[in-house]
Structure 1
Amino acid sequence: MRPHHHPPSTSSSVPHAFAAGDWRAIHGLMPYLLAFKGRVFFALSCLVLAKVANVGVPLLRKEIIDRLEPGKGALMVPVALVLAYGALRFSTTLFNELRDGVFAKVTQRAIRSIALSVFQHLHALNLRFHLERHTGGLSRDIERGTRGIESLLRFTLFSIFPTLVEMAMVAGILAWKYDLWFALITLVTLGVYIALTVVITEWRTHFRRRMNELDSKANARAIDSLINYETVKYFGNEAWEAQRYDQNLARWEEAAVKSQTSLALLNGIQSLVIGVGAVALMLRATAGVSAGRLTVGDLVLINALLLQLYMPLNFLGVVYREIKQSLADMDRLFRLLTVETEIRDCPDARPLQVGAGVVRFEAVDFAYDERRAILHQVDFEIPAGHKVAVVGSSGAGKSTLSRLLFRFYDVQQGRILIDGQDIRQVTQQSLRAAIGIVPQDTVLFNDTIYANIAYGQPDAAREEVLRCAQAAVSGKLAALYFPE
């Protein structure tokens, strides 16, 4: 069983708005967004215009109510205001849709570019990294990370930032049209609401991160078991595998229950804060109407602004949690890009010049673990055109020789030469392109037989691929598959 490497935890017992990993994720994302500065600026402009129109809707509704009184021209003025009211409502939707449409390319291109960068980087990493990581857990980290990019951009641009813009506008309107008490009550309510939401959500975050870790473990356990399906069947260990998988799921279930119950607590506290703030504002507004300082339209306006502002705040806890989770997922993704490969081309590496094809191992020492040497002072030569069989017990280093020749690892002592060229002085791409191999384990990609045969040279002509296929079969099989 291969060892499973776990990245260091990013959780903390101390509440904090943004951890180092969060800033690392944001910093990693910024270059991909700045590649579309024009689109980002236009999307933000549409966002602000949509909020201006949205706040203007209750203002016009107030004017319509206040002007609905008997008298000359009483019909024409409300009609004009109603038309303006409809135009503002349409403008809100129009600018929101423009924002979504313009920013869609930014989001999807960022996801595409980052996913490609991670994919290329993983292929550039050395074999040791892949042997020490479960493919299932790694694929889940990549999947969650790319999904986290979309979630972060959606919640930040389409939820948090619009709410902040609207909060500033509403507070300004209340202070300008009425008095500072309305604005003060609103800001205090929002401040308490946001502070409690951040603190409680931060406390809840470690439950969610624990869920993710256990989810990755369970997924890795399942994929590892299914990949080794035949081995499981050989030993009749289906029940044992199911038990191990269920143990991982049970730990995930415990963390999920804690996460859900803490969410219920958060929602209850949020509702209490919003309710107290709304009651305080409405009491002051109704007192103003009773005293004649405010009109019925003013009461409707204040109530509408409250509803308009508090409705998105009802989801602030969820949004904040999703943003934090997206940042955590993105951090795991971007940390993959920081993993250094052990095998690099030297600065002056040149393409391998293949001549006769003489392979020589000179006094080679190698160990996967420094505590146990695999090869010691290995020295031999394979002349051009010759065949060499390497015989030995399991673990003696037979497969290691081919891995060193392909430069999946570097030797600790000595050197490996091809036609007199040290393979550490040539490019890895040219080295591997010059060597043909039939692996001891038959590996097939989930693709057509044709694609698997052509994999060694994807740009090969169809006739070449068919000749290879015909050469691989004989007799009745050849007549069956290639009747012509």
Structure 2
Amino acid sequence: MSKLLKSGEQATSYASYKRSHTWIENSLAHSDEEEGSGFDWKLVRMFFPYIGQYKTPAIWSMVLMVVYTLLNLLNPWLIGLAIDNFITRSDLVGLGVLSIIFLVVNIAMWQAQYWQVWTMSWAGQQILYVLSADMFTHLQRLSLSFYDHTQIGRVMSRLQSDIDVLEAMLSSGLLSMIGSVISLIGIIILMLIMNPGLALLTFVVLPIMFVIAAFWQKHAQNSFRRTRASISLVNSTLQENISGMRVIQSLVREDRNRAEFDDLNAYNRDTNVESSKIAALVLPLVEVVAALAICLTVVYGGILVSQGHLLVGTLVAFVLYINRFFDPIRDLSQQYTQLQRAGVAAERIFQILNMKVEIQDDPQAIELPKIKGDVEFRDVVFGYNPERPVLRGLNWQVKSGQTVAIVGPTGAGKSTIISLLTRFYDIQSGAITIDGYDLRQVTQKSLRRQVGVVPQEPFLFTGSIADNIRYGRLDATDEEVMRAAEIVGAHDLIIQLPDGYQTPIRERGRNLSMGSAN
């Protein structure tokens, strides 16, 4: 009986697991966020302005990569030379000289590699620094409509995890790919020079590699897309739950939210396992093809050596070159995995950077002069969705010095009116004026410097109380800060705190009581 119950529980759990996966897939499919689809040369062109700022270290790194690669190609040739010219003839002096040359070549190679890695890592960090700064700046310029339909956790995912993926690519992966290509070309040339017949025999296996690459790429892009999307979904859920912890605990939602997060976490785990499985598949296949090429070369080369048409050292060097030939292919297969992940991450990042800022100053916009405060709405039509207006033909006027209360049921448009007054959104038709100036004809900064908005739920930033009061005017004096606090009736409360206006505030004022924060 207990076995039956256990089996039934597992079946129910599995069914729930499958349902949750279906829900997550549907959630991603209908998300407003477009997930990247993989590497695209357009993304490389988008990176050019960033790479161009640090082109000198990037060029030096590339030169050092070429030097390292060419020096690395000398090793098999030197070994073959040692066998054919010195070891078989017992020429210890010549062997000693060649050993010193071999050592010098490798020391130079190691030095080139060290400086190449360091230079590119430095340049990569600088590029990512500028990219992150551009993203942060652009996010601050994006209109509130963007944040109305975008989960903050997904934005954080792009700022953090997607940037981390690009960091790995820029710091090492990109130049390693270039080095692998140079190495591959150099080895092909050397093999053709040494023995065209053996070289062509080695190249017979290349069509197999192309088939493997085509098969792998088809499955890899979709897998990596789902992986990046699942990370975004997990991050957005974490952010939402942490921000709403007070509500979650008050409604005793901990168990339910944990179950939902377990489903998301399991989906994220499975997509990562799937990506790892696909990434792990290509390398063993390359090893099998490499073993086949070496086997063919040793058999055919052994026949040539036995017939006196090929020296033993040349065959050894050739086998080493075949190993080197497949080394860059192995590296490229791994780097291509990294490239696909970076392509997905880069596309997601540039989707934000290329996103149009909806609320922009008119080219002819003027600075709003000091205002008296006459406000007028004339035939205003507005809707967050233009097809479903919230305000239809709104007309009203408030004179300077008047105090007006806007009342109405939830969803009637009270908060919307305030948002329009500060031009957080643009109206579809009509006009909103202050002292006769149309808000669309003045700069946003000059408007918002003079129109103060106190939201229903204040947002306190990390810092002192004084820092928060002067948040919008950093040059405000201590006297002006205290005067502002007195106007809103907060001064008496603030001076009762241990450090007064210098009392440190934690994120969103969590170290203050709800009443004090409000």
With normalisation by structure 1, the TM-score equals: 0.88
What are the Cα deviations for residues 349-393 of structure 1, in whole angstroms up to 9, with x where unaligned?
Answer: 111112323222223222223454322333333332332222222
4+ runs deviating over 4 angstroms: 69-72, 461-471
Q: Does the alignment pair 1:6 with 2:32?
A: yes
Q: Does the alignment pair 1:185 with 2:198?
A: no
- Residue 428 to residue 142, structure 1, CA distance change in 2 (3 Å): same
CA–CA separation in structure 2 for the residues paired with 1:306 and 1:479:
75
Q: Does the alignment pair 1:140 with 2:166?
A: no
- C-alpha deviation, 1:334, in angstroms: 0.5
Partner of 2:66: 48
- C-alpha deviation, 1:328, in angstroms: 1.3
Match of 1:66 among 84, 87, 95: 84
Q: Does the alignment pair 1:216 with 2:232?
A: yes
Partner of 2:13: none
- C-alpha deviation, 1:161, in angstroms: 1.5
- C-alpha deviation, 1:167, in angstroms: 1.5
- Residue 267 to residue 55, structure 1, CA distance change in 2 (3 Å): closer
Partner of 1:15: none
CA–CA separation in structure 2 for the residues paired with 1:482 and 1:266:
64
Match of 1:170 among 187, 191, 196: 187
CA–CA separation in structure 1 for the residues paired with 2:119 and 2:497:
58
CA–CA separation in structure 2 for the residues paired with 1:70 and 1:221:
69
Q: Are the aligned partners of 1:366 and 1:376 in contact in 2 as well (CA < 8 Å)?
A: yes
Counterpart mapping for 1:257-276 below 5 A: 257-276=273-292
Q: Are the aligned partners of 1:155 and 1:323 in contact in 2 as well (CA < 8 Å)?
A: no
- More displaced stretch, 457-466 vs 247-256: 457-466
Partner of 1:39: 57
Q: Does the alignment pair 1:244 with 2:270?
A: no
- C-alpha deviation, 1:467, in angstroms: 6.2
Q: Are the aligned partners of 1:24 and 1:331 in contact in 2 as well (CA < 8 Å)?
A: no
Q: Considering only aligned residues, what root-mean-square deviation do their CA atoms show, in Å?
A: 2.9
Partner of 2:443: 427
CA–CA separation in structure 1 for the residues paired with 2:494 and 2:300:
94
Partner of 2:14: none
- Residue 483 to residue 104, structure 1, CA distance change in 2 (3 Å): closer
- C-alpha deviation, 1:466, in angstroms: 6.2
- More displaced stretch, 447-456 vs 323-332: 447-456
What are the Cα deviations for residues 154-186 of structure 1, in whole angstroms up to 9, with x where unaligned?
Answer: 455332211121112112222212x21222233
- Residue 280 to residue 461, structure 1, CA distance change in 2 (3 Å): farther
Partner of 1:346: 362
- More displaced stretch, 293-302 vs 414-423: 293-302
Partner of 1:159: 176
The alignment partner of 2:40 has SS state of helix
- Residue 161 to residue 198, structure 1, CA distance change in 2 (3 Å): farther
CA–CA separation in structure 1 for the residues paired with 2:249 and 2:88:
88
Q: Are the aligned partners of 1:152 and 1:327 in contact in 2 as well (CA < 8 Å)?
A: no
Q: Are the aligned partners of 1:145 and 1:331 in contact in 2 as well (CA < 8 Å)?
A: no
CA–CA separation in structure 2 for the residues paired with 1:264 and 1:36:
34
- Residue 71 to residue 370, structure 1, CA distance change in 2 (3 Å): closer
Q: Are the aligned partners of 1:137 and 1:217 in contact in 2 as well (CA < 8 Å)?
A: yes
Partner of 1:108: 125
Match of 2:396 among 373, 380, 387: 380
- Residue 450 to residue 308, structure 1, CA distance change in 2 (3 Å): farther
- C-alpha deviation, 1:421, in angstroms: 0.7
Partner of 1:99: 116
The alignment partner of 1:85 has SS state of helix
Q: Does the alignment pair 1:287 with 2:303?
A: yes
Counterpart mapping for 1:469-480 below 5 A: 472-474=490-492, 477-478=495-496, 480=498
CA–CA separation in structure 2 for the residues paired with 1:53 and 1:159:
15
The alignment partner of 1:314 has SS state of helix
Return 5+ residue gaps in structure 2 as ranges: 1-27, 503-518
- More displaced stretch, 79-88 vs 474-483: 474-483
- C-alpha deviation, 1:399, in angstroms: 0.9
Return 5+ residue gaps in structure 1 as ranges: 12-18
- Residue 44 to residue 195, structure 1, CA distance change in 2 (3 Å): farther
With normalisation by structure 2, the TM-score equals: 0.83
CA–CA separation in structure 2 for the residues paired with 1:56 and 1:481:
70
Between the two proteins, what is the percent identity of the paired residues?
26
The alignment partner of 1:68 has SS state of helix
Match of 1:481 among 490, 499, 512: 499
- C-alpha deviation, 1:273, in angstroms: 1.0
